[in-house]
Chains A and B, each alone.
Chain A
Amino acid sequence: MERLVARRRLVLATGLIAAAVVIALLVSSNARHAVALIVAIAVAIVGVTTLAIRGFRQAHPVLSRATLTIVVLDAALFATYFFSSITNFNLAIGAAMSITLLGLSFLTGASGQISLGNSAFMGVGALAVAIWANHHTSTPMAVTLLIAVACGTLVGLLLGLPATRLRGPYLAGMTLAFAVAFTAIVNSFTSWTGGDAGLQLPTAVTPPHWLTSFFNAQTSILRVNTMWLADITIVVTAVAFFFMANLFASRTGRAMRLVRDNEVAAELVGVSLPRARVIAFMVSSAYAALGGALWTLINNSVQPPTFSLALSITILSLVVIGGIGTISGALIGGVIYAYSNNVISWFTQHTGINPQSNLASQLPGIVFGGLLIVTMLFAPMGIAGAAHRLRGRRRVHSPE
């Protein structure tokens, strides 16, 4: 029976791919487009079919996560071709932010520690990229990103060591102090960090030739550039999420959750409490640094004042609203971050509030703060958590 199903699936898949090839050839204006389209559809079909195989997800968890990542990546990269430059830009910024959110979500959800200092870690990553690029212009971008992550991890280690012994409010206090002090530290070394004005990247990130060739001559450089930036960010985001999903399910991840829920039990099992906590801290700072580093690439510059305590609070808020300890929550948070301004301005326009008034300028803050309170009181598991519960409820009621 199994083999029959499998063969049928294979036939279906091959048939779909063949149909896709035909359609692609008909639709595309040149060979390049056709090949890209075929590859995109083929990857999607293969990926989805593989995931649909019964028992595949249980038998090969890592591989199935990889497959899912590839399918999603495939769809996203395909979509960026059609998006406007503004959309791609927002997508990139939001995706980078979601990496930072994922790091904090892990720290809070998986290991139960609070941090108000993740904006500073973002700043570390962002500045690392800018400073390194300005002094070593020939380093490939990927390496620079890794350097930024390394810096962030190191700072996370430095802060994580004292953090292991601290309980909730004291930890919050220490990370808050760090966030505030970061601005001062940056201001102390203006020759390196460029002070308030910040630094520019010496060479902007430009798309490779093979990508540019997909567009005709009329397309603006901006359009191609933002697509390329969005693509890079999306790929990095996908890889980061992939690693996190595996980490969460791994022994280390389970150990951390044990530390969060029951310290005594964790110690009995042999988990080193301080070590688990420090590792969690380092992971969250690494991710935050990566997010900040990507921002520098996207913006082609870095402004240190961006990485303030206010940003830290925003990060924590987005994690809470999206859903602590969930992967989808981090993505939701990223989307909210990218589009919140649009939503607010739409709101002010349609409710007749004077856009120049004090109320209008304060509205984002008021709504945001209100959302935080409401979420924490009524839906502490965030949007992702609430969706989870709804789905669970529906499954219970559906006739079996």
Chain B
Amino acid sequence: MIVVDELSVSYGAVHALRDVSFRAETGMITAVLGANGAGKTTLLRTISGLKEPSNGTITFNEHSLGRQKPENIARLGVGHVPEGRGVISEFTVEENLRLGAMMAKVNLTEGLEEQYQRFPVLGERRKQHAAKLSGGERQMLAMARALIARPTVLLLDEPSLGLAPQVTAQLMHTILDLCSSMGLTVILVEQNASTALRIADRAVILYLGRVVANDVASTIAADEDLRQHYLGKVE
């Protein structure tokens, strides 16, 4: 479980997040929604340690995450699939996965097999350079790489970006599966609100760095006003 309390983050004079508070429960998917620039990516980056908060706390089980280095936070079991996926194009698929397994005390061969079973496409292309993968395949690789370390928390930043609707639907299905089978705490940042709300348990809406809504996903999905106001075009 991740508890964010009165979190404030600024870039110089610009306040990206102000007094953000919410909980992401274990075994549940919490969607973080909002328009561009609302602060969603900053939120994830602060949780995973890439950005230091100016105020507030982030607690992961008993650990206080606020001022720790990203590599240490990752070793605690927080997996972050960043904006743009962060797949290393110069590495092969397998090298990317090996990198992901680096810090975990998992058997490498077992870990690789597990991911190849979950994402057969990756198994087929294991010796290819990641540069040759399609958008959807890259997303799978990024997720497999985060999963191979057996994280307990998964932070996903706009996984559906640039993907065709069919691929997105499959992806969301996979995330739902993973969350329940692995008992993960998932924080899912998405611009595509409908997609996220379909699989999320709870949802938080950010607007100009503040929380404007924090409720059960179905409630938010049903609230037309809310969606029109803060989530842009309603699908």
A and B touch in the complex (CB under 8 A): no
A interface list, Cβ under 8 A from B = none
B interface list, Cβ under 8 A from A = none
